[in-house]
Amino acid sequence: MTATRRHRLRTLISQGTVQIPGAFNALAARAIEKAGFDAVYVSGAGLANAVFGLPDVGLVTLSEAVEHARRICAAVKVPVLVDADTGFGEAINVARTVTEMEAAGVSAIHLEDQVLPKKCGHLDGKQLIPTDAFVEKIRGACAARRDPDFLIIARTDARGVTTFDDAVDRANRCLDAGADAIFPEALVSVEEMAEFARRVSAPLLANMTEFGKTPLLPLAELERLGYRMVIYPQTALRTAFGAISAMLSDLKRDGDQSGWVEHMQTRRELYELLDYDGLSAVEEAVKRR
C-alpha cells in the first residue's frame, strides 16, 4: 500500500493542485482523511508544539520525528508528506533520514536550507547553509531513496534571509541535483509567487500558514499561479487550541462545561472516526471460530 500511496501523490500533483492539511497527531490525520482530502501533512512545528510542548527550533530528533510519522501513516490510507526540517544533520544524516522516513511509510519529505538552531520560516533572524552544502544534502537524499516514487522536496528560506534571486538560484540548483519539487518559503506577495513559478520549472509547494508573511490565497488562485501542493501546517492545531483555551477559560469561570457540549465531537462521532465498527467486526470473526 505504501508504494501505491507514493505513486498516487505523484499522479495527483501531475493532474492538478492538492490541498494537504496538517495533522498534529494520528486522530487529526484520520479527520483530514475522513473530510475527503487526498493527502496529509505532518508539520515539524506541529510535532514540536503539540507533542512535546516545544518551540519549532530543531529540538526534535530524527527518531522522534520518524515515530510520529509512522503513527500517522498507519492511521490513514492517503499519502503523507512530512516536514524533515534540515534533515537532522549533514548530507550523510539526510541520507539516513530518507531511509527511515521511507521505512515508516512516508510518501514525501521536504528538506530546508537553514542552519541549526532553525526557526519557523516566517520569523526573522534565520541563517542559511551555503548553497553548495544544501545541494549536497539534496544529492544525498536522492541517492538514499529506494522507491523512485518517494518525493523529495527542496525548501529554501532564502527569500527571508538573502534575496529572491538567491531563492530562485537555490531552487534550480536543487532541481539539477535531483529534487522532485520546490518549496519556496515566505514569499511575500502574489507577484513574487507568480514570478517564482515563471523562473522555476518544477512542481511547487505553497505554504498557507496563518499569521505569516505569505498572503493567504484560495486554492483556485494558487493553482492558476502554478503551485501543485498547498499545505496548511497549523490550521487544525490553531483552531483546536483556540477552542481549548476558550473552553478552559469558561470552565474555570463557570464551574462546568455545559455551554460547550453542543460544540463538542460526540462520543458516536469519535467512535466512527476511530472505526470502532471495524474492531467489532474483528472481534465477531474471532468469536465465530
Which of 110, 159, 170, 238 is catalytic? The answer is: 110
Annotated active-site residue 85? The verdict is yes
d(CA 232, CA 246): 22
Annotated active-site residue 67? The verdict is no
Annotated active-site residue 83? The verdict is yes
Which of 102, 112, 157, 180 is catalytic? The answer is: 112
Annotated active-site residue 169? The verdict is no
Q: Which helix (H) or strand (E) holds 97?
A: helix 91-103
Annotated active-site residue 112? The verdict is yes
Annotated active-site residue 120? The verdict is yes
Which of 70, 122, 145, 155 is catalytic? The answer is: 155
- Cell triple for residue 143? 541517492
Which of 10, 102, 120, 170 is catalytic? The answer is: 120
Supply the DSSP symbol for 6: H
d(CA 157, CA 183): 9
Which of 6, 25, 70, 85 is catalytic? The answer is: 85
Which of 100, 159, 185, 238 is catalytic? The answer is: 185
d(CA 33, CA 39): 7
Annotated active-site residue 283? The verdict is no
Annotated active-site residue 56? The verdict is yes
Which of 83, 100, 149, 180 is catalytic? The answer is: 83
Which of 5, 6, 30, 41 is catalytic? The answer is: 41
At residue 185, what are phi and psi to the nearest 5 degrees? -85, 140
Cβ proximity of 218 and 8 under 8 Å:
no
| Beta strand spans in the chain (E) | 18-21, 40-42, 80-83, 108-112, 151-156, 181-184, 204-207, 227-232
d(CA 167, CA 196): 9
Beta strand 18-21 pairing with 227-232: parallel
Distance in Å from the first CA to the final CA of the chain:
29
Which of 207, 227, 228, 232 is catalytic? The answer is: 207
Which of 5, 49, 56, 149 is catalytic? The answer is: 56
Residue 58 Cα distances to 71, 120, 225, 239, angstroms: 20, 10, 31, 24
d(CA 118, CA 187): 18
Q: Which residues are catalytic?
A: 41, 56, 83, 85, 110, 112, 120, 155, 185, 207
